[in-house]
């Protein structure tokens, strides 16, 4: 469970990976520009063309814009243009003054992965989708490596780039696409629907909970969830008779707003499968004056049982003191705290379920 004074979550936006950036990092380090995704701040319109943040481009686009074949080959050899994959390039910015160098370093060029996605979706109807879109939206913690998932509309041709692209064909309404830093991508709701129909139920549930959870603005820079339950439902209905749509539908029905981490969702799902009463998610427990005492990850209000998931032992003195205060608040409010760690969840959640059952039975549950 996250608390307001915890460490901020790790970003899950696309970052450079050795599998794709092999042979490219050295070129980037030669010009001393970080290998990162582009800054979300759009370039100032007053900047010169040379200092504006570049984007990945297809070879035919560069040639159409006036670059000759010989110049493209020379730029690729000297490292001023990076060859991302066959027919895909990233022209690097060229600074002519100290001010432009500063501006380039502030904006940052895109990573090779991001530039590749920009090039693949810059022209035509193609859109980043499925697992790759999930990584972009922060719905997945998978490594952002090739091959990237790209969907082309029916009845057009499916994109084929072995080792670079996993091609899909599907009708995607315009309102189910969006642009993220120059990359055309499916919306979070459509992304979930595409992924959930190809996942096991628990994994589809984890992704649904991540989509509908309310963010921490001070950590994530946004105030709205990635999607609402209604938007997930609509995206799923628009999938029609897709394979395994019933599994995705079951995951949506089990999803709950408030789950702050995949382990919390998996724990709640384990309780569901074991027939335990359904807990509330991150409910505030208050005193007589209405002051919030604590927020259990999963709370059985009727039995006053609080389940806390802690993935790692806390050795930081500040965290240890905070854990002690939380336990004291729980006891003072007449609740029983059940502490679950990663060891209780692996290789199966059976130990976590049994520990929680014992606590519930001690409070009058007859299951």
Three-state SS sequence of 195-231? HHCCCCHHHHHHHHHHHHCCCCHHHHCCCCCCCCHHH
Q: pTM for this structure?
A: 0.75
State the pLDDT at residue 64. 80
Strands 305-310 and 298-300: antiparallel
Burial letters 297-334, b for 16+ CB under 10 A, else e: bbbbeebbbbbbbeeeeeeeeebeeebeebeebbeeee
Q: Highest mean pLDDT range out of 11-20, 216-225, 227-236?
A: 227-236
Lowest average pLDDT, out of 17-21, 48-52, 165-169, goes to 17-21
3-class SS of residue 72: helix
Q: What is the CA radius of gyration of the chain?
A: 24
State the pLDDT at residue 235. 96
pLDDT at 38 over 50: no
State the pLDDT at residue 317. 66
> When comparing pLDDT for 325 and 134, which is higher?
134
State the pLDDT at residue 115. 87
State the pLDDT at residue 100. 65
State the pLDDT at residue 107. 57
Residue 55, token pair as written in the block: 């984007």
Q: Where are the domains of the chain?
A: 1-186, 192-259, 262-362
State the pLDDT at residue 134. 97
Residues 6+ apart with CB under 8 A from 71: none
State the pLDDT at residue 45. 30
Assign 109 a pLDDT band (cuts: 50, 70, 90). low
The pLDDT tens digits of the residues spanning 40-68 come to 333 333 223 333 456 777 777 788 877 88
Closest CA to 187 of 147, 223, 238: 238
Closest CA to 17 of 105, 104, 181, 142: 142
* 109 touches 38 (CB < 8 A): yes
State the pLDDT at residue 354. 98
State the average pLDDT over residues 227-239.
Answer: 96
Q: How many whole angstroms separate alpha carbon 127 and alpha carbon 129?
A: 6
> When comparing pLDDT for 161 and 12, which is higher?
161
3-class SS of residue 244: coil
- List, in sequence order, every residue forming a beta bridge with 85; answer none if it has no partner: 88
State the maximum Cα–Cα separation within the chain, in Å, rounded to a whole number: 80
Residue 364, token pair as written in the block: 């009058």
State the pLDDT at residue 37. 40
Query: Got the DSSP string for 126-154?
Result: -EE-HHHHHHHHTS--S---SSEEEEE-T
* 113 touches 181 (CB < 8 A): no
The pLDDT tens digits of the residues spanning 269-295 come to 999 999 999 999 999 998 888 889 889
pLDDT at 341 over 70: yes
Mean pLDDT of the chain, nearest integer: 80
The pLDDT tens digits of the residues spanning 120-154 come to 998 789 999 999 999 999 999 988 889 999 999 98
* 338 touches 356 (CB < 8 A): yes
Lowest average pLDDT, out of 39-48, 162-171, 177-186, 341-350, goes to 39-48
The pLDDT tens digits of the residues spanning 194-215 come to 999 999 999 999 999 999 999 9
How does DSSP classify residue 294? E
According to CATH, what is the number of the domain 262-362? 3.40.960.10
Q: How many whole angstroms separate alpha carbon 158 and alpha carbon 170?
A: 9
State the average pLDDT over residues 327-351.
Answer: 90
The pLDDT tens digits of the residues spanning 79-95 come to 778 777 777 787 776 66
> When comparing pLDDT for 5 and 171, which is higher?
171
pLDDT at 266 over 50: yes
Assign 101 a pLDDT band (cuts: 50, 70, 90). low
Closest CA to 21 of 150, 154, 114: 114
Residue 23, token pair as written in the block: 């042979």
């Amino acid at each position: 469970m996250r608390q307001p004074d915890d460490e901020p979550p790790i970003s899950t936006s696309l970052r450079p990976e050795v599998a794709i950036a092999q042979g490219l990092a050295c070129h980037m380090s030669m010009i001393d520009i970080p290998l990162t995704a582009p800054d979300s701040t759009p370039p100032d319109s007053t900047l010169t063309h040379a200092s504006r943040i570049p984007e990945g481009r297809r070879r035919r686009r560069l040639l159409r814009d006036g670059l000759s074949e010989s110049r493209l080959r020379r730029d690729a050899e000297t490292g001023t243009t990076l060859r991302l994959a066959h027919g895909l390039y990233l022209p690097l910015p060229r600074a002519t003054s100290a001010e432009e160098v500063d501006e380039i370093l502030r904006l940052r060029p895109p990573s090779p992965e991001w530039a590749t996605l920009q090039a693949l979706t810059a022209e035509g109807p193609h859109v980043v989708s499925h697992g790759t879109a999930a990584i972009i939206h922060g719905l997945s913690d998978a490594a952002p490596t090739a091959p990237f998932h790209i969907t082309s509309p029916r009845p057009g041709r499916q994109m084929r780039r072995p080792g670079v692209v996993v091609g899909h064909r599907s009708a995607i309404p315009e309102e189910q696409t969006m642009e993220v830093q120059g990359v055309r991508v499916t919306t979070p709701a459509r992304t979930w629907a595409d992924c959930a129909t190809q996942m096991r139920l628990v994994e589809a549930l984890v992704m649904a909970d991540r989509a509908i959870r309310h963010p921490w603005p001070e950590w994530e820079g946004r105030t709205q969830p990635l999607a609402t339950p209604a938007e997930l439902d609509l995206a799923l209905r628009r999938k029609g008779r897709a394979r395994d749509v019933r599994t995705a539908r079951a995951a949506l029905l089990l999803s709950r707003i408030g789950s702050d981490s995949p382990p919390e969702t998996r724990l709640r799902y384990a309780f569901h499968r074991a027939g335990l009463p359904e807990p509330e998610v991150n409910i505030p427990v208050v005193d007589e004056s209405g002051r919030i005492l604590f927020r259990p990850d999963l709370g059985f209000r009727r039995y006053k049982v609080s389940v806390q998931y802690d993935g790692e032992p806390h050795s930081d003195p500040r965290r240890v003191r905070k854990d002690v205060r939380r336990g004291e608040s729980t006891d003072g409010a007449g609740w029983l705290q059940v502490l679950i760690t990663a060891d209780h969840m692996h290789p199966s959640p059976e130990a976590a379920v049994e520990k929680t059952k014992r606590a519930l039975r001690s409070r009058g549950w007859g299951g």
